[in-house]
Structure 1
Amino acid sequence: MKLNKVILSGVVALSCVSASAQEADKTVNVFTPHWYAQAQIGGQYTLGEIGFGKLLSPNAQVGVGYNFNQVVGARLSLNAWQSKAGQNVAGNVYKWKWNYVAPMVDATFNLTNLFCEYNPDRLVEVGVFGGIGANIAWGNDEAADAKAAILKSEAATEALKYGATPLENLWDGTKTRFVARVGANVDFRVSDRVKLGVELSANTLSDKYNSKKAGNPDWYFNALVGVKVALGETHTTKVIPAPKPVEKIIERIIEKPAPAPAPKVESKVVEENFRRDIFFPIGNSNIAKSQSTKIAEIVEYMKENPDAKITLTGYADKGTGSAAFNDKIAARRAQTVYNTLAAKGVAKSRMIKESKGSRVQPFEENDMNRVTICIAK
């Protein structure tokens, strides 16, 4: 048999792992709702017209709170100690102080977790809060003494001729007034359950608080430092196994080409179900630039398959927000993809949009469920 008529063929079977390094298991931290206790001490400045240092007084606060999720919480606190006021009459400064206790209810918001990925090992976190409560004040005897001293002065006697009455809103006994506040805090991590923090707040109440009539609300500002202790686990750790290496069988056929090989006819592989997943940042329904390639691939597929229809299903993750909020943002995510595809030429009659909120979680990893899954058939 001539050599040019001999066909040499061989089959080589190789089992191999993908050329890239094997991925390691991924560890994901999942926030756990929990209670916490808080104790703080610091100072207060009661807004007034005499020197700043003369209106400083001690302040303290204790509280207990609950973090519903990694962003939103609530706190019940008891703020108390002392407030000061004063008046300058013809160069003479009159000062007085009184005591108070203020039970408050606040809504708290962790801005760091809102705008950044949740990380229980983060050293510094920033938050804001706002609330309402009652200011229960007593011991205003010094204000009455100050008014008596002012009325005895020559300057006050002259001012009274023109209708200027000192300490016109003087009060005695125990008075309860509505108070509202807003503030900000910075917490520094010590351990999983312990944080040291700094808190600043602005508090406003009626014009009668400092005994003087000014025609506008009275204010006091608190600066506090303290410790916050979590009363339970703050998070759990979930390990997502790395994908198993894919074994591939590579077959190689070695043969001498035939004199007149038949022309190859390439067959086009058509995907029965075409799928692309459009992922979104936390609390957001805008399509990121990183997802634009997927949008282009969907548009191209729909052009090449004019009979295909596509279903757009929006989702939200369970770890953030309430069920009602998640229903709305999931629907907005589906609507955003719908509007984007329509703007790029995909007929609206070929698209179906749905929303499953956070009731269904298509992925095990919490953050991946901020998604619109697009399936074309």
Structure 2
Amino acid sequence: MQLKRNLMLVAISLSTLAVSAQNTQSSGQVTEEGKTAFKPHWYMQVQAGAAQTVGEASFKDLISPTAALSVGYKFNPLWGIRAGVSGWQAKGKWVILPDSYKFNYLQGNVDATLDLSNLLCHYNPKRFFNAYMFLGVGVAGGFNNDDAVALDEAGYHMQYLWSGKKVFVAGRGGLGANLRLSNHVFFNLEVNANVLSDKFNSKKADNADWQLNALAGFTFKFGKSGKKPKPVVSYDIAPTPVETVVEVKQEPAPVVTPAPVEEKKEEVKPLTENIFFKINSAVIRSSEENKIADLVAFLQKNEEVKVSICGYADAATGTASINQRLSKERALAVEKALKAKGIAADRITVDFKGDKVQPFSKNEENRVAICITE
């Protein structure tokens, strides 16, 4: 029952961690102009160190060797997943025994990871110290429990004795740090705790057994974890002259006098341009530059026309406060592009709605700044 309660606590902690990472994900991926953007990537960790099985003996008496090999994937600057194998040797001891007894185990793990450095300090691929935390579950297979079997046969009755092979479910969590040596190699330090069934060390203690690990090794990053954004391409567009139609009236009279020249004004139809952005970004993509160019040409041709810009963010990503700021930055980015092309500030009106209004049915289409002339 105690193990079940511990596993439930691990599950609840994982859910809380997922919500926290979702709420902060946007701040980790917002890319300013000229900064490096995050790119998802794989990595591998090779670790070795010491393990300590919590028991009825002094700390040093229950220390044993351990090792781990893991492969992980980072989806975004904050959130990732890791799978691996760990284990080697574990020890147990009773206060009535002169010596400890040894057994072996091998544990498969699946962990959810959270990058603490990116969470607290924003994404920086050149940072030397990168801390992380993780929570996960595993399945441990115990074997070579001959020492405990011999003790039981010698008269030390062990209520949870097992022989041959035994499988245990584990919950785990820990902290780690990667120290950057190069773009692809990091020195790794990690401490973790694994909670297993009370039967893990063959003794009945009426509480879960704990295996503590201190590890050191290396993290190898595959592929590119960051990429530079493409430079914004600007276009110089010459103003198009306004065509006028002159109508001349002639009166039947001996003296022909020219009629007043009247300019026939054409009705200007409103123009709408939707400038779409990448997720958690306020940088105008090169694929949207032609829309900016069309809007500039229209405003230069119709000098009496004004334009209103309203920024939005999709409600499925980030928090209300982050989306409010992101929608404002998108509207201001379009305003800045228009001013750079000579459009006067008094012809531009800027507004932003955050994620309170969703003008489109698809989430990705709500990452937009809508421009409407009037």
Fold match (TM-score > 0.5): yes
Q: Secondary structure at the match of 2:207?
A: coil
Q: Secondary structure at the match of 2:89?
A: strand
- The structural deviation recorded for 1:94 is 3.6
- C-alpha contact 2:117 2:130 (8 A) present in aligned 1: yes
Higher relative strand content: 1
- C-alpha contact 1:180 1:203 (8 A) present in aligned 2: yes
- C-alpha contact 1:88 1:94 (8 A) present in aligned 2: no
1:16-31 → structure 2 map (5 Å cutoff): 27-31=34-38
- The structural deviation recorded for 1:355 is 3.9
Q: Secondary structure at the match of 1:114?
A: helix
1:120-135 → structure 2 map (5 Å cutoff): 120-135=125-140
- C-alpha contact 1:75 1:106 (8 A) present in aligned 2: yes
- Runs of 5+ consecutive residues of structure 1 not aligned to the other structure: 1-24, 152-165, 245-281, 283-309, 317-322, 338-350, 363-371
1:259-298 → structure 2 map (5 Å cutoff): none
Other-structure match for 2:357: 354
Structure 2 residue 134 is the aligned partner of structure 1 residue 100: no
Relative contact order (alpha carbons < 8 A, sep ≥ 6): 1 or 2 greater? 1
Give the Cα separation in 2 of the matches to 1:70 and 1:331. Answer: 16
Distance change (3 Å), C-alpha of 1:34 and 1:220: same
Other-structure match for 1:191: 182
Distance change (3 Å), C-alpha of 1:50 and 1:127: same
Other-structure match for 1:325: 317
Structure 2 residue 170 is the aligned partner of structure 1 residue 172: no
- C-alpha contact 1:82 1:99 (8 A) present in aligned 2: yes
Other-structure match for 1:210: 201
> In the alignment, residue 109 of structure 2 is paired with which amino acid?
M
Other-structure match for 1:315: 313
Give the Cα separation in 2 of the matches to 1:54 and 1:242. Answer: 67
- Runs of 5+ consecutive residues of structure 2 not aligned to the other structure: 1-31, 236-279, 281-307, 329-351
- TM, length-normalised to structure 2: 0.58
CA deviation string 1:56-87 (max 9, x = no partner)? 00000001111111111111100020110100
Q: Secondary structure at the match of 1:223?
A: strand
Structure 2 residue 91 is the aligned partner of structure 1 residue 84: yes
Give the Cα separation in 1 of the matches to 2:197 and 2:310. Answer: 54
> In the alignment, residue 354 of structure 1 is paired with which amino acid?
V
CA deviation string 1:284-329 (max 9, x = no partner)? xxxxxxxxxxxxxxxxxxxxxxxxxx9975426xxxxxx9434x64
Give the Cα separation in 2 of the matches to 1:231 and 1:220. Answer: 31
Distance change (3 Å), C-alpha of 1:331 and 1:210: same
Give the Cα separation in 2 of the matches to 1:214 and 1:224. Answer: 27
Give the Cα separation in 2 of the matches to 1:218 and 1:359. Answer: 51
- The structural deviation recorded for 1:330 is 7.5
Give the Cα separation in 1 of the matches to 2:109 and 2:76. Answer: 21
- C-alpha contact 2:312 2:366 (8 A) present in aligned 1: no
Distance change (3 Å), C-alpha of 1:242 and 1:143: same
Give the Cα separation in 2 of the matches to 1:373 and 1:142. Answer: 74
Q: Secondary structure at the match of 2:93?
A: strand
Q: Secondary structure at the match of 2:152?
A: helix
Other-structure match for 1:22: none
- The structural deviation recorded for 1:105 is 0.6
Distance change (3 Å), C-alpha of 1:373 and 1:208: farther
- The structural deviation recorded for 1:150 is 5.0
Other-structure match for 2:66: 59
- TM, length-normalised to structure 1: 0.58
- The structural deviation recorded for 1:175 is 0.4
- The structural deviation recorded for 1:116 is 1.7
Structure 2 residue 192 is the aligned partner of structure 1 residue 201: yes
CA deviation string 1:213-254 (max 9, x = no partner)? 01111110111111111121111122656999xxxxxxxxxx
Q: Secondary structure at the match of 1:88?
A: coil
Distance change (3 Å), C-alpha of 1:359 and 1:113: farther
CA deviation string 1:329-362 (max 9, x = no partner)? 479748x99xxxxxxxxxxxxx974147654545
Give the Cα separation in 2 of the matches to 1:204 and 1:119. Answer: 34
- Percent identical: 34
- C-alpha contact 1:75 1:105 (8 A) present in aligned 2: yes
Q: Secondary structure at the match of 1:84?
A: strand
Give the Cα separation in 1 of the matches to 2:167 and 2:370. Answer: 56
Q: Secondary structure at the match of 2:134?
A: strand
Give the Cα separation in 2 of the matches to 1:223 and 1:358. Answer: 44
Structure 2 residue 234 is the aligned partner of structure 1 residue 229: no
Greater shift, 223-232 or 53-62, is seen at 223-232
- C-alpha contact 1:314 1:330 (8 A) present in aligned 2: no
